[in-house]
Amino acid sequence: MPDTAVMPIPGHIDPVPVPRAVPQRADGKRDLIGLPKAAIQAELEAAGLEPKQAKLRAKQLWHWIYNRGVTDFSAMTDIAKAQHPWLAERFVIGRPEVVTAQVSGDGTRKWLLRAPDGQDYEMVFIPDADRGTLCVSSQVGCTLNCRFCHTGTMRLVRNLTPGEIVGQVMLARDALGEWPSSPEGRLLTNIVMMGMGEPLYNFDAVRDALKLVMDGDGLALSKRRITLSTSGVVPMMARAGEEIGVNLAVSLHAVRKEVRDEIVPLNRKYGIEELLGACAAYPGANNARRITFEYVMLKDKNDSDADARELVRLIRHYKLPAKVNLIPFNPWPGAPYECSTPERIKRFSDLIFEAGISAPVRTPRGRDIDAACGQLKTAAERKSRAELDRLAEEKQAALG
Provide the annotated active-site residues: 122, 373
CA distance 314 to 272: 9
Q: How far lies 117's CA from each of 40, 374, 380, 381, in Å? A: 22, 25, 15, 17
Residues with Cβ within 8 Å of 354's Cβ and at least 6 positions away in sequence, in order, are none
Which of helix, strand or coil describes residue 113? Answer: strand
Q: Which residue intervals of 97-202 are DSSP H helices?
A: 162-176
Residues with Cβ within 8 Å of 82's Cβ and at least 6 positions away in sequence, in order, are none
Which of helix, strand or coil describes residue 373? Answer: coil
CA distance 114 to 130: 31
Q: What is the dihedral of CA 134, 135, 141, 144, to 10 degrees?
A: 160
CA distance 165 to 169: 7
Residue 161: closest CA among 33, 28, 26: 33
Which of helix, strand or coil describes residue 229? Answer: strand
Q: Which residue intervals of 3-99 are DSSP H helices?
A: 37-46, 51-66, 84-90
Chain centre to alpha carbon of residue 250: 12
In degrees and rounded to multiples of 5, residue 16 shows phi and psi of -75, 130
Judge whether 194 and 229 are in contact, CB under 8 Å.
yes
Q: How far lies 153's CA from each of 11, 366, 386, in Å? A: 12, 20, 12
